[in-house]
């Protein structure tokens, strides 16, 4: 029988997922000034868990308070907050929902307002005009080893505090993704050069976490299908890395693409010649790459980006090249979008991004609606892009100011 989004799936570690819908990871910016989880996370994730998804993946939980994706990230770095994490996990696992903690390190994509001197594999600055990111310094070999131990520590904390699994963020130009890229990683030691060396950080993190959490705890990896940059991490590189990740007993692979220099994860990138079903082609950003990845590995695959209709989701599952459908932006407004999709074979979520004017306000628009839900308010789908830009910048400035004066050494 062909699976549809209502079918359960059992991950290689033996954990069962109640359906094929996952809430994709999205940044929240809800942490307190010590970068600990708050009651706002509890409110938000309980709403999402009640919404019917089989898996919820959190936004970035950082391993090092010096290097954040944005000021309001949750961090697990000797800053306490274990009881807050337990409350977070309890809320996100109601309704038989699995809650995966996404674990990351922002690397050179740490904003100046957080740290003017971020770290990276090599001292190569990002190629962005008027960059919000400082020129990075290269990590020492000892610091790379320290970063690995930080990932392992956060994963053990996730398990101890009740999270159902973890996702290692190896995509979108953050630290692990930087090590994978020959553009960002020009090291000459064991962490650079060949793909085997560039993938060593990711594999060391996965292997170390597996040893720490045991064989029955889910480990997911978010990986770029490609960086979509000439000379960067290629799709051919991706295919080899996923083979290694299968050897390392990864349970779920989320396919994405791009980075801040080429944000395919936001605007879409299709291997259109690979897609036979026009319904899928019209919606899913990365399905064109899932087919070749499926041929390279038996790891269950999650594809996020563009899916809006149940018809496209069911068709993608029927093709056999994806196992779990990730949805993100619709759930910033409709927290029960999974239940709506599961209720009818002709259901669709709303593509809110198509009505945001100007479109450059989209990021702030969705982030602000997440914050409204976390504050117990109704989302505001009538907000304009201009309103979102202004309010988002004000919120980020307020959050960043709470970090002023802290020791980042």
Domain at 240, CATH number: 3.20.20.70
Look at residue 356 and tell me if it is in a domain: no
> What pTM value is reported for the model?
0.93
pLDDT of residue 260: 58
pLDDT of residue 126: 84
How many structural domains does the chain have? Answer: 1
pLDDT of residue 277: 45
Length of the chain counted residue by residue: 409
Look at residue 389 and tell me if it is in a domain: no
Look at residue 232 and tell me if it is in a domain: yes
Peptide bond into 334 cis (omega under 30): no
Look at residue 65 and tell me if it is in a domain: yes
Look at residue 284 and tell me if it is in a domain: yes
d(CA 40, CA 37): 8
Look at residue 370 and tell me if it is in a domain: no
Look at residue 360 and tell me if it is in a domain: no
* CB-facing half-sphere around the CA of 356: CA atoms within 13 A: 22
- Per-residue model confidence as pLDDT tens for the chain (409 residues): 578 999 999 999 999 999 999 999 999 999 999 999 999 999 999 999 999 999 999 999 999 999 999 999 999 999 999 999 999 999 999 999 999 999 999 999 999 989 999 999 999 998 776 678 899 999 999 999 999 999 999 999 999 999 999 999 999 899 999 999 999 999 999 999 999 999 999 999 999 999 999 999 999 999 998 767 677 889 999 999 999 999 999 999 999 876 555 554 444 444 333 333 444 555 666 777 888 999 999 999 999 878 999 999 999 999 999 999 999 999 999 999 999 999 999 999 998 988 898 888 888 999 999 999 999 999 999 999 999 998 988 888 888 887 776 665 5
d(CA 287, CA 279): 11
pLDDT of residue 259: 58
pLDDT of residue 371: 96
Cα pseudo-dihedral 176, 182, 186, 190, rounded to 10: 60
Q: Name every residue whose Cβ is closer than 8 Å to that of residue 130 and which is 6 or more positions away in sequence.
A: none
Look at residue 58 and tell me if it is in a domain: yes
**Host domain of residue 239:** 9-350
């Amino acid at each position: 029988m062909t699976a549809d989004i209502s079918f359960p799936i059992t991950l290689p570690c033996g954990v069962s997922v109640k359906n094929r819908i996952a809430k994709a990871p999205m940044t929240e910016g809800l942490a307190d000034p010590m970068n600990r989880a708050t009651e706002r996370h509890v409110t938000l994730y309980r709403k999402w868990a009640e919404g019917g998804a089989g898996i919820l993946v959190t936004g970035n939980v950082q391993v090092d308070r010096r290097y954040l994706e944005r000021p309001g990230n949750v961090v697990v770095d000797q800053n306490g907050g274990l009881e807050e994490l337990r409350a977070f996990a309890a809320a996100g696992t109601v309704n038989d929902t699995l809650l995966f903690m996404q674990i990351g390190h922002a690397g050179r994509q740490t904003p100046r307002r957080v740290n003017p001197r971020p770290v990276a594999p090599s001292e190569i600055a990002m190629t962005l005009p008027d960059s919000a990111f400082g020129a990075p310094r290269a990590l020492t070999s000892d610091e790379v080893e320290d970063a690995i131990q930080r990932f392992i520590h956060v994963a053990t904390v996730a398990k101890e505090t009740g999270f159902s699994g973890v996702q290692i963020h190896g995509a979108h130009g953050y630290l692990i993704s930087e090590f994978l890229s020959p553009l960002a990683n020009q090291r000459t030691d064991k962490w650079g050069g060949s793909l085997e060396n560039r993938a060593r950080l990711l594999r060391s993190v996965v292997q170390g976490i597996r040893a720490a959490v045991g064989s029955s705890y889910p480990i997911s990896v978010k990986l770029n299908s490609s960086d979509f940059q000439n000379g960067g991490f290629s799709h051919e590189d991706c295919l080899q890395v996923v083979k290694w990740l299968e050897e390392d007993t990864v349970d779920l692979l989320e396919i994405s693409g791009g980075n801040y220099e080429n944000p395919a994860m936001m605007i879409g990138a299709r291997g259109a010649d690979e897609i036979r079903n026009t319904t899928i082609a019209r919606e899913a950003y990365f399905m064109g790459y899932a087919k070749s990845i499926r041929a390279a590995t038996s790891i269950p695959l999650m594809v996020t980006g563009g899916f809006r209709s149940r018809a496209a989701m069911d068709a993608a599952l029927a093709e056999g090249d994806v196992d779990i459908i990730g949805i993100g932006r619709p759930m910033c407004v409709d927290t029960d979008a999974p239940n709506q999709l599961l209720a009818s074979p002709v259901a669709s979520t709303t593509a809110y991004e198509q009505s945001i004017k100007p479109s450059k306000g989209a990021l702030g628009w969705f982030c602000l609606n997440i914050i409204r839900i976390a504050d117990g308010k109704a989302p505001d789908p009538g907000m304009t892009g201009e309103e979102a830009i202004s309010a988002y910048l004000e919120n980020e400035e307020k959050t960043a100011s709470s970090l002023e004066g802290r020791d980042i050494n």
